[in-house]
Amino acid sequence: MKKLSLGKQAEIVKATIPQPYTIEFEGETIEINPVLGLGQKKDFTEIVWSLYYNADKDGNFDFRPYTFDFATRLATIYCYTNVKIDFAQDVEKYYPLAQYSGLYEAIVESFDSTITRDHKTLMESTEKYIDRKCAELANIDAFTAKSQIDLLIESVLTKASVLLHSFRDENGKVDIKEVFAAVSDVKKLADQDGLVGKILDFRFQP
């Protein structure tokens, strides 16, 4: 089977790819670039994520699902048009523009069927990206908590070791019953609720 040459592919793309165009909105000419590259699509998803998971005025990061619609609208305006959006400033000032001015609607309504499909796919991919990022953060939180518990258990085991050394007999042998007892105590701690508090309260007296 003969492969389609790169030159012929370029000709096809040039003849079929949607070209930039303009629309009129509230007396202003808005330039629209209907075809986003992969880098621009990545920017789109990152914009949405940065608004979805962001810091409050006190600097505490948290999930903000209520920003999703605003974020996707703002990302659409930024990535598809020449409307200036300064992300270095407080982006909430763009909320009325994105939500209520009708600009977003004018943009997406100007898309032909191919770009509408592309934009819809991008929105769906962005939602999946956010779901994955949320799951990653949840896993990190769980791992961090487990690591802290592991460190506490390691501390208990270390103290248990010191304790058991104090029970060595005169021949330098360890009483195996004491070893089993120490391991059993640690296992009981791990199987009970309030593990962190129990470990913090647990004391060996070497």
Considering only residues 98 and 171, tell me which one the structure prediction assigns the higher pLDDT: 98
Largest pairwise CA distance in the chain: 97
Give the range among 101-115, 126-140, 156-170 with minimum mean pLDDT: 156-170
Residue 81 has pLDDT above 70, yes or no: yes
Compute the mean pLDDT over every residue in the chain, rounded to the nearest whole number. 79
Residue 82 tokens read as 């020449």
Give DSSP secondary structure letters for 62-92: EE-GGGHHHHHHHHHHHHHB-----TTS-GG
What's the CA gap between 111 and 78, in Å, rounded? 15
Residue 20 has pLDDT above 70, yes or no: yes
What percent of the chain shows pLDDT beyond 90? 42
What's the CA gap between 197 and 206, in Å, rounded? 21
What's the CA gap between 98 and 87, in Å, rounded? 14
Considering only residues 27 and 169, tell me which one the structure prediction assigns the higher pLDDT: 27
CA distances for 25 relative to 22, 32, 72, 91, angstroms: 10, 12, 20, 21
What's the CA gap between 187 and 206, in Å, rounded? 20
The residue to which tokens 């003849």 are assigned: 15
pTM of the model: 0.65
Give DSSP secondary structure letters for 146-176: HHHHHHHHHHHHHHHHHHHHTT--TTS---H
